[in-house]
Amino acid sequence: MTLSLTRSRLYLFPLTSETQLTLDVVVRMLCPIGNGFVQPAIDIDGRTPLLCASWNRHAAVVQSLLERDEVNPDKPDNDGRTPLSYAAGNGYAGVVEILLERGGVDPGKSDEFGQTPLRLATRHGHRAVLALLRPGGLSI
């Protein structure tokens, strides 16, 4: 994947065959080290690298970012959407599973429009995500 900051917005795109960056390099670009700790970038929409990676199905980046204590796995963007809600709404079961296993996420958290991860997955018919979210007895 490539990193692009455009108009102060953070985007992650799939890598082309000509451009290969290691996961470590990508994570270092997203979370520059300063004063002895990692400070995750946040764009003008409140999106963190974890949220962008979750939204774009970059499971390896999600996993790597979640290994850092500084990363809040449930940090919402300006609309109240979390990494889990983006992954669930897009049907990315692998990313949802990683987030749930890590802990520190609230699967019942509503965004500013009243949408929960379960409601988003239900609306879009993402059965694999529903199977991961329903065992906790979450309501839609």
Q: Per residue in 21-45, pLDDT tens? A: 555 556 666 565 554 444 556 778 8
Q: What is the pTM of this model?
A: 0.74
- Residue 61 is predicted with a pLDDT of 86
Amino acid at 38: V
pLDDT of residue 8: 45
Q: How far apart are CA 82 and CA 137, in angstroms?
A: 20
pLDDT given at position 33: 53
Q: Collect the ranges in the chain with pLDDT lower than 50.
A: 1-8, 13-20, 35-38
Q: What is the pLDDT of residue 41?
A: 67
Tell me the domain boundaries of the chain. Answer: 2-136
Region 2-136: CATH code: 1.25.40.20
Distance CA 136, CA 17 (A): 40
Tokens of 30: 């997203």
Q: Are 106 and 75 in contact (CB under 8 A)?
A: no
